[in-house]
Amino acid sequence: MGQQFKELSTKHIDFIGNQKIYFVGTATENGHVNLSPKGNDSLRVIDANTIVWQNLTGSGNESAAHVLLNPRMTIMFCAFEGSPLILRAYGQARVLHRNDRDWEKYITLFPKSVASRQVFILDISMVQSSCGTSVPYFNYESDRDTLAKWSENKGKEGIEAYWIKKNQRSIDGFESEIVERSGITIDI
């Protein structure tokens, strides 16, 4: 039976700390709903009402574009081992790029990466738990290092060129503001 809470409990925070994967959901009023799996060392629980996660460079930039238009966000965690549990944190999010005022405050919480694209801050309005008894067991093997190797090979300038080419707009054409808020200059 599902339960709702106003904030994360100590038990919830401990559960989140043991997860190897989480899922981020965002949507605008129109267009496609985005659901992104995230991993590696990219999430921090700041307090019972705040989660921060680092967004590394990827093929799309949906979460940033969506949050700029509609700040609703859901983060979901699933138990793939041990006792079954699905935990969702709902709330309002904001996105930080490297030229934004609070960037340094939050980016330093994560391992340094040339692929660091944004940081999202979720202000939690509700937490919901549900049983998760139909979620299968999976064994964690290891984190993938493909993105880290790819981004290191590209370097800062290569990553910025990728952002210009692939990350300025969502699949629905919504702006991500990555160029202007990251201080990238486009040569014309």
Q: Which of 40-49, 58-67, 87-96, 178-187 has the lowest mean pLDDT?
A: 178-187
For residue 41, the Cα-to-chain-centroid distance in whole angstroms is 11
Confidence class for position 1, pLDDT limits 50, 70, 90: low
Q: What is the pLDDT of residues 33-72, one digit of tens each?
A: 999 999 999 999 999 999 999 999 999 999 999 999 999 9
Q: Would you list the DSSP string of 40-97?
A: SS-EEEEETTEEEEEEEP-S--HHHHHHHH--EEEEEEE-SSSS--EEEEEEEEEEE-
pLDDT at position 181 is 97
pLDDT at position 187 is 76
Is pTM beyond 0.85? Reply is: yes
Q: What is the pLDDT of residues 14-24, one digit of tens each?
A: 999 999 999 99
pLDDT at position 76 is 98
Q: Whole-number mean pLDDT of the chain?
A: 97
pLDDT at 185 over 90: no
Average pLDDT over residues 66-85: 97
pLDDT at position 188 is 62
What's the half-sphere exposure (Cβ side, CA atoms, 13 Å) at 154?
Answer: 20
Quick one: CA dihedral 145, 149, 154, 157, positive or negative?
positive
pLDDT at 3 over 70: yes
pLDDT at position 129 is 98
Contact predicate 52/94, CB 8 Å: no
Quick one: CA dihedral 16, 123, 162, 37, positive or negative?
positive
pLDDT at 134 over 90: yes
